[in-house]
Amino acid sequence: MKKIISKKIKTALLILCTVASLQYAYSNGKKDAAIEDPNGILQEEITDTPSTEELEKPAIAYSHDLPKGDSVKFHEVWAYILDGHSDGLTDDMNITDLCLFSAGVNVYGEINYVPDSSQIKKFKGRKHLIVTCDSRSLTHFILDPDYGVRQKLISRLVKISKDFDGLQIDFELVPARDEKNFQTFLLDVRGRIGREKWFSVALPARTKTLSDDVYDYDKISSCVDRIIVMAYDEHWSGSKPGPVASMDWCEKVADYASSVIPQKKLVMGLPFYGRTWVDDSLDSAWRFKGINNMFNERNMHTVTRDERGIPTFTFTTQVTVTGYFDDSFSLVERCRMYESKNIKKTAFWRIGQEDSTFWPWLELN
């Protein structure tokens, strides 16, 4: 019995390794920092500048439903781009605000790396530097003024933001007891960088007010110029299969965010990536090109859509793989939903993961 179970596990892991070789997950520790190979060795995602082949627009491997009607229009379009991946930026993308990801904080509470702003110098819109901290204990260490590193860090943030039009804080692991420290930290940074700089913050999605919420939209909105609501990861690596951001869930997030964040400060985030689950448990994150490569390798050329238009697929190869992703059809539908709610600003995570046929459907007004 043990030998049979072991054989099944090994087979599943070998298949996962094949799947993982195509994936293009989050990088630099933002969400899924690493993948596990069949030998149990964690391997970080390769984040080198894409090759010429990778930058080519992917042939659509399945029956691709195209949007109908008019394009969608927003007053501001924010988009994230990884450090070193600026070749993925093209002139046909109607983007007002480009977010370079990211500067990080080391174990001493210091900025240990700053992306070079010159790599996006040709972009004509506003350029924002993103600052991340991917440890709960480290986040507490830099936010609590009693440790003596907070003011030094803020002084450093002022300095590194000089080559950018704006600065964005993306601290996704703020401990609950640091709610006040987080808010005063944002206020201190806002005051130090000066009003000529745009100051924004990325916050996780909420559908209602939570008690003692460290990411209280209402309180934080007074500290910043823009709040990017990360309306994705409704279903994630540890959840059961489902859309990264279902339409119904996004509507609830948008309705709540609109009720507590001033319209001029609200930016709704949309995902460009997809996810797969193997037998309802293990997962991978995918860019659009990777999904198409997988379809071609398995000679799959059709997808189904859920009731709100998000494409999904399932195939069995000793284990059952279920995936959800977004293409131009579902992205336009999602944008139209936000547009119908009079939301004027949107943001996309991230350039390089998208269905490139989406961009012509996006306009600025």
What CATH number has the domain bearing residue 167? 3.20.20.80
Residues noted as catalytic: 172
Domain membership of residue 28 (yes or no) is: no
In a domain, 51, yes or no: no
pLDDT score at 98: 98
Question: Nearest Cα to 158, choosing from 106, 122, 117, 199?
Answer: 199
User: Is 15 contained in some domain?
Assistant: no
What is the per-residue pLDDT for 353? 96
Q: Which residue has the tokens 């990264």?
A: 244
Is residue 18 in a domain?
A: no
> Around 163, how many Cα atoms within 13 Å sit in the side-chain half-sphere?
13
DSSP secondary structure, 74-114, as one string: ESEEEEEEETT-GGG--TT---SEEEEEEEEE-TTSSEEE-
Q: Does 271 map to a domain?
A: yes
Whether 21 maps to a domain, the answer reads no
φ/ψ of 285, rounded to 5, equals -110, 145
pLDDT at residue 263 in the model = 98
Query: Would you write out the chain's pLDDT as a tens digit for each of its 365 residues?
Result: 434 434 444 444 444 444 443 343 333 334 443 333 332 222 223 233 444 444 455 679 998 999 999 999 999 999 999 999 999 999 999 999 999 999 999 999 999 999 999 999 999 999 999 999 999 999 999 999 999 999 999 999 999 999 999 999 999 999 999 999 999 999 999 999 999 999 999 999 999 999 999 999 999 999 999 999 999 999 998 889 999 999 999 999 999 999 999 999 999 999 999 999 987 665 688 999 999 999 999 889 989 999 999 999 998 888 899 999 999 999 999 999 999 999 999 999 999 999 999 999 999 99
Predicted model pTM: 0.83
Helices (H) and strands (E) in the chain, counts: 9, 18
* 231 part of a folded domain: yes
How many domains, in total, are found in the chain? 1
**Chain mean position to CA 47:** 15
Looking only at the bridges linking them, the beta strands covering 319-324 and 311-317 are antiparallel
Who's near 198: CB < 8 A, 6+ residues apart? 97, 126, 128, 165, 166, 167, 225, 226
220: its two tokens: 């934080």
Q: Considering the domain boundaries, does residue 213 fall inside one?
A: yes
Its domain, for residue 249, covers 65-364
In our burial notation (b when 16+ CB lie closer than 10 A, e otherwise), range 53-78 reads: ebeeebebbbebeebeeeebebebbb
CB 38 within 8 A of CB 328: no
- Token readout for 290 is 């990777």
Closest CA relative to residue 143, chosen from 154, 128, 131, 157? 154
| Radius of gyration from C-alpha coordinates of the chain | 21
